[in-house]
Structure 1
Amino acid sequence: MASTDGAAMGTTTLNMVLLAIYSAVLLSGTVGLSLMVHTLRSPMRSVTSIAVFNLIFTHFLFLLTVPFRIYYYATNNWGLGDGWCKVVSSMIHIHMYMSFLFYVVILVIRLLAFYGKSGQVEFSRVLHALLASVAIWLLLAVTTPCVVSFRYGNRDAEADGNRTDTQCFNFSSRIEKEEGATVFNYVISTVIVAVACVLAALQANVLLVLYRRYGRGCGAQQVFWAQLKSLCFALVMVVCLVPYHMFRLYYIKNLRLQDVNEVFLTLTTLSCLDMLTFLGRGSCSLCHRGQRM
C-alpha cells in the first residue's frame, strides 16, 4: 500500500511539472508567434530567411499539439484514441529534429558568410525559395504518416502489458526490443550533441572576433547584432537539446528512467522561446533582404 501511494504521488508530481512546462511553452510560444506575424513582412529570398520561416512554422505545428498534452497531464487520462496519441507523441520528436535542422542551416550560413567574407546566399527567384521549403514539408508529410502508422509506438502485448488505453506517451519498449532503434538513438544523439557544441563554440568565437575588432563600439554594428541572434540560436540548442540527448545516451540502456527522460524531452520544447530573440534590437534582422553580413 505504501509503495502504491508513493508511486501515485510520484506520478502526480511528474504530471504537475510537465503541466507547468507545457503551459509556459504554449503561452510564450503563442505570444511569440503572434508577434512574429507582424515582423515577417519582408520578401524571403535567402537560405537564412527560408530557414527562419520554416523554424517558426515548425514551432507553430508543434504548439497545435501542446493543448492535448496539457489535457492529458491535467486529467491523467487519455481518451482520444491510440492513433491520435501516437500523432501527438511523435510531434515533439519531429519538432525537436526539424528545429535542430533549421538551427544548423541558419548557423552554418551565418558562419560561412562571416568567415568567407561573402554575402548572403540567395535564391534567384522567389519560386526557388518556395520550392525548397515545400520540398522539405512534402517529404515530411509523406514519410511521417508511414512511420507513425507502421513503426512508431506500435503496441507489443508482452512489453506493453501494463499499459492501458487511458495512458499515452509511453513507447519506450520498442527501443529495448529493436537493436536497430538502439543504434539509431546512440548515433543521432551523439551527432546532435557534437554538432550543437561545435557550432556554439564557433559562433561564440565570431562574437569574440567582432568585439576585438570594434571594441566597445561593436554595439553600433549591425553585423554584431545579427551574429548575436545567431549565438542565441546556438545557445538554445545547447541549453534545450543537448541535455536531453546526453541523458538519452544513458537512458537507452536504463529504460526504467522513463519519467526522467520525459522531463528532459519536455525541456526541448523550450526552444519555442527562440522566437523572442527577434524582438530585440533590429528585430528579425535575419529576414531582411539585402542585409549586410
Structure 2
Amino acid sequence: MIQAHLDALHGLPAFDFPAAGATDSALPAAGAVAWRISVEPYSDDSEEFSEAWARFVEKVDLSAVQALIIGQWGESYEVNSSSIVELVVEQRHRLTSLRALFLADITQEQQEISWIQQSDVTPVLGAFPELVEFGIRGGTELQFPETGHAALRRLTIESGGLPAAVVHGVSSSNFPALEFLDLWLGTDNYGGDATIEDLAVILGGTKLPSLRHLGLRNSEIQDDIAKAIVTAPILGQLTTVDLSMGTLSDDGAQALLDTSSFKGLEFLDLHYHFLSDTAITELTRHCAELGVRVDLSEQTDADEYDDEICRYVAVSE
C-alpha cells in the first residue's frame, strides 16, 4: 500500500502549496522545490482544485518552476484527471522550465490506487518538449496512445492493474532518450490484463535504445516475466532490473538460477516475493557469483483456499 506522499521529485524537496485560508508566509523560490498542489474534498473549508490552481499560477513564478506534483484533485474516484491535464497544459507557455510532473500523488488513506480515475495523459508530453520525468499513479481509465518525446528520460506508471492498451501505447511510442521505465502491471481483478506477449516489444529492446533500468513489477504474471527477461534482447543494455512486488515464486526463480545472462547487471530487485528459503539461499549465492547485487527482502507466504494456492501482488485495490 502507498502510505506516504512523495518527499521529492526531480531532486527537489516536495513543498505543499498552502491551502486556501492558510496563514500567509513567504513561499520558497519557485525553482527550489517540487510544488505539490492538492485539495481535501472532505474538509469544511475545502476549495475546488481549479481554485487552488488559480492561486498557484497567480502567486508563483511559473517560468522558474521545475517540478510539479499533482495530489488529490477532489473526489478522484468520480472525477477523472482530464481537467487536471488541461489546466497544466494551458500553462505550457508559462511553465517554460518544467522538467518533471507527477500526476496523482494520492495515498491509500486518501483513496485506493485502483479507484483513481485517470484519462489520456499524453497531452502533457506534447505540451512540454523539455520534460525529462513523468509519473502517473492509477490505471483505471488511463489512456496512453502512441506518442513520442525526444527528451523524456524517466517514465513511471504505478497501478493496481495496468490495461494492456496502455502497455501497447508505451511500447509503441518513440522515446529515444528514455533511461528509466517502471510499470506496475497489477492484477486482472483491477484491469491489469497485459500478458507476456504484450510486453514483447519492450523486451525486444529495439524501441528503447537508451534504456538502462526496466521495472516490470507488482504483477500477477511475475513468474512469466522472469522467464522471459532472461532471454530478452533488452537485458544486455540494462544495469538494473526490478521484478519486485509481484507473485514471484520458485518457478520464476528457477529461470533466474538457470542462466548467467544477467551477469552484467548492477542490481536485481526482487523484494516482496513468494520464494522458499531454499530458493532465496540459491539466488543469493548465484547473484553473488555473478557480481549482481540482489534484494530478496519481504518474503511473503501464500494463502490456501479450497486446496488452491493464492498469491497476491503488493498493491492492487
TM-score bracket for this pair, using the shorter chain length: under 0.3
Query: TM-score, structure 1 length as denominator?
Result: 0.22
Query: TM-score, structure 2 length as denominator?
Result: 0.21
Larger RCO, structure (CA 8 Å, separation 6 or more)? 1
The structure richer in strand per residue is: 2
The structure richer in helix per residue is: 1
